[in-house]
Chains A and B, each alone.
Chain A
Amino acid sequence: MRSWVLPVAVSVAALLALAGCPNNDKKPKPDPSPSAATSSSASSLTAAHGGDAAKGKALVEKQQCNRCHDGTGFEAAPQGKHCVHCHTDIMDAKFGSAESRVKWQPRVKDIQDAPSLEASSKRLGKKWIESYLLLPVDQRPALVQAMPRLDLTPEQAKDIAAYLGADDKDEPKPTGDVAKGRQLLDTKGCGTCHKMTGVSPLAASPVAVPLEPKEYGRAMRVAPDLRFVRDKMAPSRVVAWLTDPKAVKADSSMPKIPLSDAEVKDVVAYLYNAQIEAPRVTPPPQRLPVLTRKVTFEEVDKKVFHRTCWHCHSEPDYAIGDGGPGNSGGLGFKPRGLNLSDYAGIAAGFLNDKGERESVFAKDAAGVPRMVRALVARHAEEGGAPTGEVRGMPLGYAPLSLEDIQLVESWIAQGRPRS
């Protein structure tokens, strides 16, 4: 294991303390995919997609999808670079001292999972993958982390979709018994792991098959919101999936639920035909007013920078490791040279697209510092809104609380006092 994992672990811990517990109460999110709001039929999918799978494969490598996901078609990233494996090792006491693990484990326990991309080309439609990559919308209500918005052009997203996705099928709308399908979802234990936002809550009945506890825990964490099934998968693929998930995807946590062929059709009919409420559009939150009390760097560093940001934005010569993707590049992002681990580093700003240094405190036309814009943008992303050139931070994690953003903004407004 590479030695940079240590700070990674420390700060992931911090990072995820920020993220908090799995959010099981998330409200429905606006879905950019074409069918979400109107319960569209699978027939809206067409076979024409385009995209260059070879280029897509190269992009999957460049974007380092294998740092989080299995099943990318590439070897898993080395241990020191693999977020999920490192967190798992901390939880399994395979990494770090006992003393360190006491600090780390509570913070990483909720970030040991990322969905596997294994057999994605047997499951997920290309068009959905393409739209999802460009504007990821949280698919897994119980998973703390979410797919980050990568630095991709629409053409690149199309290429990746061509590599990872299944051909979109023009299939008729499923014709099973919708009411029965819903009843099955309620009685076979589906609601124990899954949510289906936009419909009345699924009953959390006992799962129809026994599950090993560890696998059960993972299944609960990665279970996707079923509202998106109709957008992601062609009906025939859902039938195959429900009939025997592991025959489609060997590493799936989804158990084989005892269902007759007719029952499978009923469940599929419900998933495709149930009336789903349009997602509630969540406007970006209003920032809290700047604090009048003094805010020092020590306070902001402790509560925000060192707790959350430092994990991906540190200085390679000072942290063990490569400084993280937010400094030396990674996950497809170019090196930005942003070091949020100390006062001077934060002041030193980041490398913009022209390769010039730019202050993270530079204000936009509305007078909002760049750093604050990024923190607010994460809230907007969670609400399903595009945020333009400013990517929401922390990348792929729960947004900072408004109080923490207020703290950062107050510190900046007060001239960034050190003490």
Chain B
Amino acid sequence: MKKLVASFLFLAAFAPIGLVAGDASACGMSVRLEPIPERPTPVQEIATGEKSLDSGNYLAAANAVTRTFPAIRNATAGTDPLQTRGLRVLAMSIVRSDGKVAANGQWTPAANLEWAAQTLREIDQKRPNDPAVQADLGEALAKITRTQGEAYKLLSRLADKDLMGSPHAYAALAQLRASKGDEQGMAAAVKRCEEMTKSPAVCKVSPAAKPAEKPGSVAVAAKVAML
């Protein structure tokens, strides 16, 4: 009987340990921690988005941003550096996909382009005199008929001062020059675009091409109205 009681007490005392050890992969007194799959940090996510944007994968770029900042559409540029980078990635993904990325019932491509242009204007205001931001803005404005004149001036000025490092912005300028019948100017912009892009298809310009957005199709221009 004593042996039975002792056995019972022994089991009662050590059973929980065995249970825990089994569940937690314990080894003696050590507990081996199971590797937990690491989620990318916000910085990594946005950097991934930027890479996706550069490589022309606009949907992936936009998704990387919205995963990190689900309420990015409500964000104000300049309040947080990483969020501002996210805003730029989303805006440029929209611009380079002609408004198609992140479009849904509410966010038509035209509304998307308006949002993107407005967002880039905000970034430009927060970081004035930055040609990289201005090139992005010019590219966005070139997609909207009523702002193409502004885009033309902005991009021409940057190109004249040799301050533009975006092949997409040069492509936009080439497109605008083509629409003005400036074949020579278009060819020059295409040449610069081709020199600085990894994807020459980006630089293809159709002189007859029209901007993606039709005049008057923008139902809601103000960013705030689209929240």
Residues of A within 8 A of B (CB): 297, 316-318, 337, 339, 343-349, 351, 355, 357-359, 361-362, 415-419
Contact = CB atoms under 8 A, between A and B. Distances in A.
A361 B163 CA distance: 9
A358 B85 CA distance: 24
The winner among A317, A358, A415 for most chain B CB atoms within 10 A is A317
Nearest to B84: A317
A interface secondary structure, majority: loop
Contact of A417 (B81, B132, B162, B196): B196
Nearest to A351: B129
A348 B127 CA distance: 13
B165 A415 contact: no
Nearest to A343: B165
B166 interface: yes
B166 A344 contact: yes
Interface in B81-105: 81-82, 84-85
A339 to B, nearest CB: 8
Contact of A359 (B132, B135, B162, B166): B162
Interface in B143-171: 161-167
Given A316-B81, A317-B85, A337-B129, A417 B163 contact: no
Contacts of A344: 132, 135, 165-166
A357 B132 CA distance: 11
Smallest CB-CB A-B distances: 9 pairs: A347-B165, A344-B165, A348-B131, A317-B81, A359-B162, A415-B195, A344-B132, A348-B132, A418-B196
Contacts of B135: 344
B163 A355 contact: no
Given A317-B84, A418-B196, A346 B165 contact: yes
A343 B169 CA distance: 13
B183 interface: no
Contacts of B81: 316-317
A367 B166 CA distance: 24
Given A344-B135, A347-B164, A337 B130 contact: yes
Contacts of B131: 347-349, 357
A339 B132 CA distance: 10
Given A317-B84, A317-B85, A343 B196 contact: yes
Nearest to B123: A317
A337 B161 CA distance: 16
Given A344-B165, A347-B162, A359-B162, 16 more contacts: A317-B85, A337-B129, A343-B165, A344-B135, A346-B165, A347-B131, A347-B163, A348-B132, A349-B131, A357-B161, A357-B163, A358-B161, A361-B162, A362-B162, A417-B196, A419-B198
B197 interface: yes
Contacts of B166: 344, 347
Contact of B163 (A297, A317, A359): A359
B188 to A, nearest CB: 12
20 contacts: A316-B81, A317-B82, A317-B84, A317-B85, A343-B196, A344-B166, A346-B165, A347-B163, A347-B164, A347-B166, A348-B165, A349-B162, A349-B163, A357-B163, A359-B162, A362-B162, A415-B192, A418-B167, A418-B197, A419-B198
